[in-house]
């Protein structure tokens, strides 16, 4: 390989690395950038849904406490954990635990 070819290859690789995608071609970088935009939009929607879930959970907790009940219903939480585990596998359980903690706090 000549010095010119090596320099051109290094420059192209560096340019791909600089764009932040890790892609080695402009086409791949474009696909990755577009997909990342979609992921960012999905993340925004997920965050909004989690915030909505937190608000609904607060309503439930307030009603339960006002009626003389406990803040947390462990049997319901077990249902939620099972639902997430069935839908997403073992990592779903961790996700559900995080959601439950966000919605009701640590127990």
> pLDDT tens digits for 30-82?
999 999 999 999 999 999 999 999 999 999 999 999 999 999 999 999 999 99
**What value does the mean pLDDT of the chain take?**
89
The answer to whether the CB of 29 falls within 8 A of the CB of 23 is yes
pLDDT at 11 over 80: no
Evaluate if pTM is beyond 0.85: no
Angstrom distance (rounded) from CA 78 to CA 5: 61
Q: At what angle do helices 74-88 and 90-104 cross, to 10 degrees?
A: 140
> Which pLDDT band, with edges at 50, 70 and 90, does 18 fall under?
very low
């Amino acid at each position: 390989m000549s010095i010119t070819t090596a320099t051109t290859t290094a420059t192209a690789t560096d340019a791909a690395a600089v764009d932040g995608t890790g892609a080695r071609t402009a086409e791949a970088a474009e696909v990755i950038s577009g997909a990342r935009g979609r992921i960012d939009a999905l993340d925004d929607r997920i965050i909004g849904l989690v915030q909505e879930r937190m608000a609904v959970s607060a309503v439930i907790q307030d009603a339960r406490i006002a009626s003389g009940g406990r803040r947390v219903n462990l049997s319901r939480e077990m249902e939620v954990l099972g639902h997430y585990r069935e839908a997403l596998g073992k990592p779903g359980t961790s996700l559900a635990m995080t959601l439950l903690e966000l919605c009701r706090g640590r127990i």
